[in-house]
Structure 1
């Protein structure tokens, strides 16, 4: 593994690889090892030697850090000022299991390179929506700076947004600048018990239509409910809705939401630490952090179509699943084969979406397209961007943009 300790070192490594015709596979702490389909003869190129917070002004709610800075260090610094990353980046180590580097730590550069987002995604945006500026080394070994410390309108190609979600295929991130937000004073979760997947979709849609500012909406079918907060959720399926903000406001909004949700089923409440742990476990996909290599899909569809997709697949394949983002994000574990063709056929039939194979054994990954195939026009544009930033294909090829 190549581990540069400065931006200059990183640029030299890329130029050296270019001169020798080598390929580089960019990574941070190695906690997402196994994503994609893999590339032969690509040398690992890690940012973990580029670590440290460069600048942080809590009053401006903006931080600049080197790409290899451990995410835990970022979050600890923010916590001291009661601030947070609004997009709730998940920790993939549990679901990646044996593939994750045992001593690896998620890095802030890896978070943005993979555009990692959690349960608050549908109201706070993805990781890329918090990214203000980047420094990176392109495929020619040139250091490029894009963006800055403020959000502004852009014309043409927005390199900041392109790098976020590119999985290191367009350039090697060395530094990132991003906005942060205050930690909510209070958090409360309403639990509606006993709903079918279809009824839960309707309940969540109703909740999101109300002026109560729901910041998390997930449905946990009976097969996974026991996996959360040590099995202490009420009996039956659990549809969970999160409210955050000032304590008096949360209390009023929770009362209004509960009054409406009681028409769907029994309502109970989780507050404080139980609520925080529940959403962290939803974020980190705890039910499928099972130590296996069973194929695990991350599926994005219209919230109204999620339960239809799962119902159709249950008739033809052995699957288990739960829902986040009001039903628009489905974490789906296959019991045997990945069933990629069947899954993507149903997604198209239900109006479209994206299916990403997050985890699988090596033989399965070798035969299954890990990322959703791009439409021809998008693939052509992606190839042109790749040609501009990495003309020799130094950075191992893969998905250009993860949505």
Structure 2
């Protein structure tokens, strides 16, 4: 087993990384180890774990901003926010069930994986809530980026660059992020029995209404039976969540149900049933049972999600779940990962990116778990990696893209 280092301070982390760089020691950067199977397996010499850096540094509920050390358990963050009727806007995904891992998610790991759940559709991704951070680069130098307010930047935005980098650019020691008030109530409109193409039309129609839908997802018939009892009746399920003041949710949900009744029979789930359903969708529970089957996370244009599923089903056994109005497609393959087929199909449908979340070591061999980058972007990513980690010691097995469209530079974040 590799040596595991758990620095108790940022200064100690700097010393450990500096020594590793001088010795050429490859370090696997880790939080709670809940995404340990992600990426291509390349052995590291040692593990650098952030769990020794835990605790909330600063939290002013009135300002809706929190600063915490990177190794702070996500549960502790959510408990502190809940006590003040606040929440993480992006509804972070818990990857343990889908990836068959243990451990406790950390707030640093959430941002480094950009773990964004169903509310990403309306509130943005995890990186959009991240205001600032502290990290140690590959030379063992501590760097502060961003602050407690969102500012315009020129050139590379290190905060956005580190978010979603999976520990390939630096060892994050502290994060500062904005939070939002927790909605007083919620309800979910459920349409039964739609196919993927019709569900896409129904979700688009719902998003075009002044109902302020906070999440939209479709669960095909093949996997809908695994949903909670309150939602998991026979047949496919299309779900649309509304949140806010109780009286407003009641009025908006009634109006939206009437508008969508032409598509299919409509049910309305109360707050408790709604919360249970969206936890299931957030954590991709319907695709957790068969750990031996490869699982992909695919991001495409919302209108392309159902076309992707239909095309793949002509060539392979596929189970699917669609979130983000069809723009996030979770695909569970029946046999081999089918990476070439999947990525060709994504490209033919207008582009996107596919990440292999779960697969055996044999299945991963010879393919990239992360979406390959075009040559110019790959070259720029390599130069950024070389600046921040010149000895190439960080997380050799991850090989995550440094730059993604609109991320890490001025402009819109994806």
1:15 aligns with one of 15, 18, 22:
18
Q: Quote the residue 2:30 is aligned against.
A: 27
Deviations 1:41-60 (A, max 9, x none): 34211101100000000000
Q: Quote the residue 1:377 is aligned against.
A: 376
Distance 1:187 1:41 in 2: 45
Q: Quote the residue 1:38 is aligned against.
A: 41
Deviations 1:89-112 (A, max 9, x none): 011110111xx2x3x100000000
Indicate whether 1:83 and 2:55 are aligned.
Answer: no
Distance 2:97 2:44 in 1: 27
Secondary structure at the residue paired with 1:44?
strand
In the alignment, is the contact (CA less than 8 A) between 1:42 and 1:396 conserved in 2?
Answer: no
Q: Quote the residue 2:168 is aligned against.
A: 169
Q: Quote the residue 1:211 is aligned against.
A: 210
Matches within 5 A, 1:2-401: 2-97=5-100, 100=101, 102=102, 104-230=103-229, 232-290=231-289, 292-397=291-396, 398-399=399-400, 400-401=402-403
Q: Quote the residue 2:408 is aligned against.
A: none
Distance 1:323 1:354 in 2: 15
Secondary structure at the residue paired with 1:304?
helix
In the alignment, is the contact (CA less than 8 A) between 1:138 and 1:390 conserved in 2?
Answer: yes
Shift of residue 291 of structure 1? 5.2
Distance 1:380 1:49 in 2: 35
Deviations 1:278-312 (A, max 9, x none): 00110000011115231000011111111111011
Runs (5+) with no aligned partner, structure 1: none
Shift of residue 367 of structure 1? 2.2
Shift of residue 69 of structure 1? 0.2
TM-score normalised by structure 1 residue count: 0.97
Distance 1:41 1:177 in 2: 29
Higher deviation after alignment, 180-189 or 250-259: 250-259
In the alignment, is the contact (CA less than 8 A) between 1:225 and 1:231 conserved in 2?
Answer: no
Shift of residue 232 of structure 1? 4.2
TM-score normalised by structure 2 residue count: 0.95
Runs (5+) with no aligned partner, structure 2: 405-413
Distance 1:156 1:367 in 2: 35
Q: Structure 1 residues 291, 222: closer, same or farther in 2, change over 3 A?
A: closer
Higher deviation after alignment, 132-141 or 362-371: 362-371
Secondary structure at the residue paired with 2:53?
coil
Secondary structure at the residue paired with 1:367?
coil
Deviations 1:194-250 (A, max 9, x none): 111110000001101111110010001111111111374333211000000111111
Q: Structure 1 residues 291, 3: closer, same or farther in 2, change over 3 A?
A: farther
Distance 1:237 1:297 in 2: 21
Distance 2:108 2:23 in 1: 26
Distance 1:146 1:42 in 2: 29
Distance 1:227 1:292 in 2: 15
Distance 1:314 1:291 in 2: 18
Shift of residue 78 of structure 1? 0.3
How many residue pairs align between the two structures? 399
Distance 1:107 1:147 in 2: 20
In the alignment, is the contact (CA less than 8 A) between 2:114 and 2:126 conserved in 1?
Answer: yes
Shift of residue 401 of structure 1? 4.5
